[in-house]
Amino acid sequence: MKFTQRVQQLPPYLFVEISRRIAAKRAEGKRVVTFGIGDPDLATPDPVLEELKEASHRRPNHRYPETEGLPEFRQAVAGWYSDRFGVELDPATEVMSLIGAKEGIGHIALGLLEPGDIALQPDPAYPVYNVGTLFSGAEPYWLPLTEEGGWLPDLDAIPDDVARKAQVLWLNYPNNPTGAIAELDYFERAVDFCRKHDIALLHDACYTEVAFDGYRPVSALQVPGAKDVCLEFHSLSKSYNMTGWRIGMAVGNADLVRALFLVKSNLDSGVSQAVQQMGIRAMETSQEEIDERNAHYQARRDKVIEALRGLGITMEPPKASLYVWAPVPEGFTSASFATAVLDDLDMVVTPGTGYGKYGEGYIRLSLTLSDEDLEEGVRRLQSWKVPTPQ
């Protein structure tokens, strides 16, 4: 059988390989502690689960949903954005449901990019931005994220000829994998850049509700006029521990929402209505409950950073996201250090190069493992003597 070039050029999805390595270690009888995948271990709130239980018995929910989402779900999203960010959205034209943000992030390229177009993409970054670009036949133009630059793309460094061919600019703050944040003044510059060059600003905002030390992340849509160019992707996965239920949303520019709707309506049948009703209930969660959850993650963050500092690895504690982005000791590459951790400690960390060329020299540690496993991982790090690099 013949497979398409777009499939053949795809690298293996990062976390599939991590899962394979974990399985191999466990087959050897090892207790593997994994700081790999960012999948919240905390339970979906009980009231949200109760809503699913009730919704599953409602006969209309046993049939096909609508691609754009229930009117009640879209209204709830608009209300949530108004309360949380002060952003007003028309639920009929500026909001649609997603089967988790990942599928919307992947599908939007099919509505906006063609062969010969350019997508402006950060590096390191969540791999799905580039997968969508490759599937559309367009070309990526990489925007390096560096510690010196605050992990923000330098928009002024983009050549004019590249900007003229670019159709989309991807941003993601709070950031995966670096944990970096962007403030409104940066989004103002991004909106101005996209308006000037007639580029769609695509913002992955899935981590705005996971923040520490009193910090409150912003939405790109808070910039006046942002809806002229911006589509923002959000998810209930990280916000309310709902990764397994696959529910998210895309909001913003009505034409961009429409383009995504046209793609999705031909490829999927939308989100289960019962799950959307779960989502409505989740968005009623109090800020106090979210703060309590974040305090749990913050305590984990602090323990991991303390253990890494004991190895001579220093970094600024992230203000948001579910990750610690740490430099590797001198003499190691990202891959060689991750391999040493796996070989010596039966522990998984993600090499920064899994997120792009400019991730070299760093590893990512997720905070979404159980407290028991995290304590065990911290103990192993604290007792480890880092080997001499080969």
Kindly list the structural domains of the chain, giving each domain's residue range(s) and its CATH number in brackets, ordered by start. 5-44+287-382 (3.90.1150.10), 46-282 (3.40.640.10)
What is the structure's pLDDT at 20?
Answer: 78
Asked if pLDDT for residue 10 goes beyond 80, the answer is no
What is the structure's pLDDT at 15?
Answer: 63
What is the structure's pLDDT at 13?
Answer: 61
Q: How far apart are CA 202 and CA 195, in angstroms?
A: 13
Residue % of the chain over a pLDDT of 90: 90
Tens of pLDDT, residue by residue over 22-76, are 788 889 899 999 998 889 999 999 999 999 999 999 999 999 999 999 999 999 9
Asked if pLDDT for residue 169 goes beyond 90, the answer is yes
Report the candidate in 333, 307, 238, 249 with the shortest Cα–Cα distance to residue 37: 238
What is the structure's pLDDT at 389?
Answer: 85
Contacts for 163 with CB less than 8 Å, ≥ 6 apart: 193, 197, 199
What is the structure's pLDDT at 36?
Answer: 87
Mean pLDDT of all residues belonging to the chain: 95
* pLDDT bracket for residue 14 (50, 70, 90): low
Report the candidate in 266, 207, 211 with the shortest Cα–Cα distance to residue 233: 207
What is the structure's pLDDT at 8?
Answer: 79
* pLDDT bracket for residue 170 (50, 70, 90): very high
Give me the helix-helix angle, 371-382 and 334-345, nearest 10°.
100
Tens of pLDDT, residue by residue over 324-381, are 999 999 999 998 999 899 999 999 999 999 999 999 999 999 999 999 999 999 999 9
* pLDDT bracket for residue 174 (50, 70, 90): very high
* pLDDT bracket for residue 3 (50, 70, 90): confident
Tens of pLDDT, residue by residue over 189-206, are 999 999 999 999 999 999
What is the structure's pLDDT at 12?
Answer: 65
* pLDDT bracket for residue 165 (50, 70, 90): very high
Tens of pLDDT, residue by residue over 227-285, are 999 999 999 999 999 999 999 999 999 999 999 999 999 999 999 999 999 999 999 99
Residue with tokens 């969540």: 126
Asked if pLDDT for residue 5 goes beyond 90, the answer is no
